[in-house]
Structure 1
Amino acid sequence: MTQPIPPITLPPMQDPQQEGEWLRNTLQTWLDREFLPEPINQKIAQRASQIFVRQRLEGENDLGSLVIAIVTEMQAFDFSKSFYSEFAIANAVSDLLLDSLGIDRCCGQ
């Protein structure tokens, strides 16, 4: 029988500005490397970072809930000048956070 994947809880936020800047820079670098370095990537990374920081300041530490919040709030973002969507951005944020925590995201491990 398959076991459910346990939730991943991020450590409490220590420095909102530093975490927001880290996510913005890291996400923009990922976006630029994944397809093309486009000016819209900076706006996407900035918006995702704002959502992330606000959610964390409101006490949200569950990674799954953070991903859902990013998907939901990024739906209002105009992705027409980008190769990305709100789902790609939320998944990228999740992957970047897991990498930063040293959690292997391969194969459901």
Structure 2
Amino acid sequence: MAEPIPPITLPSAQNPQQEAEWLRINLHQWLDQEFIPEIVNQQIARRASQIYARQRMEGENDLGSLVIAIVTEMQAFDFSQSFYSEFAIANAVSDILLDSLGIDRCCGQ
């Protein structure tokens, strides 16, 4: 039987606003590099980083819960001018955070 994937816990937030700004910059860069730079990418990155900051200020350290919160709250965002969806954004945030922690995200490791 397959083993469940263990949860990934982020270190407690020391400065959630600074973390969110770092995430906004990195997510915006990722969005612009993944397809083509679009004005809406800035808005997407800003909204996702706001959700992230609020969740971290509320004490959320579980990466899975952060991803679910981003998917849920980004559903209200108008993606009609973008190649992306709330799922792509949440996954990108997860990848960016995993990379920053030095966690290999390849092959379920």
TM-score range, shorter chain: over 0.9
Within 5 Å, give how 1:6-25 maps onto structure 2. Answer: 6-25=6-25
Distance in 1, Cα, partners of 2:9 & 2:24: 20
Residue 61 of structure 1 and its aligned partner are, at CA, apart by 0.6
Find the counterpart in structure 1 of residue 64 from structure 2. Answer: 64
Amino acid at match of 1:100: S
Find the counterpart in structure 2 of residue 74 from structure 1. Answer: 74
Identity, in percent, stands at 81
Residue 32 of structure 1 and its aligned partner are, at CA, apart by 0.1
Superposed CA RMSD in Å reads 0.5
TM-score (norm 2): 0.98
| More deviation, 73-82/11-20 | 11-20
1:26 maps to 2:36:
no
TM-score (norm 1): 0.98
Find the counterpart in structure 2 of residue 86 from structure 1. Answer: 86
Residue 94 of structure 1 and its aligned partner are, at CA, apart by 0.2
Residue 86 of structure 1 and its aligned partner are, at CA, apart by 0.1
Equivalenced residues, count: 109
Distance in 2, Cα, partners of 1:3 & 1:20: 32
Residue 3 of structure 1 and its aligned partner are, at CA, apart by 1.1
Distance in 1, Cα, partners of 2:64 & 2:85: 18
Distance in 1, Cα, partners of 2:107 & 2:81: 32
Q: Deviations over 1:21-79 (max 9, x none)?
A: 10000000000000010000000000000000100100111000000000000000000
Spell out structure 1 runs of 4+ moving beyond 6 A.
none
Residue ranges of structure 1 left out of the alignment (5+ in a row): none
